[in-house]
Amino acid sequence: MTMRSGMVYGILLWGFISQALADGGVGVKAPSCSLSKIGGGGEKTLEAYQGKVIYVDFWASWCGPCAQSFPFMNKLQKELGSKGLSIVGVNLDEKAGDAMGFLNQTPAHFELVADAGGKCAHELGVKAMPSSYLIDRQGVLRFIHLGFKPTEAQALRDQVEALLDEKSPVK
């Protein structure tokens, strides 16, 4: 192996390693993400929910399984909200009107925000629609779910409950 090809392999290897590190994310502090209301305005970050278990769900109006997941998330928020669960539905539609049309059909009883330009989705490395991210009370990203299947809903709920049962951060 010449020095030149060694360098090329080295660069490739570095590319793969850094990609793998960037993709992981579980177990590290979740990015704060700048979010807004659907249609603009009302800047907000995930830090606003500090001390709570955050269920971040990325959705869009054109995504079928997203619509399927809404009743599940409504139920979860209703039953576990008092225990300290915050569900944040992050909309990724290009047009706010599409999101509104979807919400008329599929009511959401949890907090809704928009991620203009997909910045937050980039930071969290969203790979599928819908994607949900579970963040614990310390702000650490714990679980990532790609897509939504009704058969996996119970496992998801168990994870959320386990995170809720962990002791609150000492202040």
Partner 1 sequence: MTRLFGLFKVCMKAAKSGQATLAFSRRFSYSCNSLLRGLLLIAFSVVLDGCAEVQPWERGNLAKPHMGLQPFPSQAALREHIYGSRESASGSTASSGGGGCGCY
| Residues whose CB is less than 8 angstroms from the CB of residue 76 and which lie 6 or more positions away in sequence, other chains included | 55, 85, 87, 157, 160
Angular region, 101: left φ>0, alpha ψ -120 to 50, beta rest: alpha
| Chosen residue from 33, 53, 54, 126 binding partner 1 by CB under 8 A | 126
CA distance 154 to 113: 25
Residue 15 Cβ vs partner 1, minimum distance, rounded to whole Å: 15
Query: Which parts of 47-76 interact with partner 1 (CB under 8 A)?
Result: 58, 60-63
In the complex, what is the shortest distance from the CB of residue 152 to partner 1, in angstroms, rounded to a whole number?
A: 18
Cα torsion 40, 42, 44, 50: sign: negative
Least distance from partner 1 to the Cβ atom of residue 122, Å = 8
Judged by CB under 8 A, the residue of 18, 122, 149, 152 near partner 1 is 122
Which parts of 84-103 interact with partner 1 (CB under 8 A)? Answer: 92-94, 98
Does residue 121 bind partner 1 (CB under 8 A)?
Answer: yes
Rounded CA gap, 95 and 162, in Å? Answer: 36
Three-class DSSP category at 136: coil
Residue 92 CB, shortest distance to partner 1, in Å, is: 4
- 118 lines the binding site for partner 1 (CB under 8 A): yes
Nearer to partner 1, 92 or 156 (CB): 92
Handedness of CA 87, 141, 116, 70 (dihedral sign): negative
Q: Site residues (CB under 8 A) for partner 1?
A: 58, 60-63, 92-94, 98, 118, 121-122, 126-129, 131
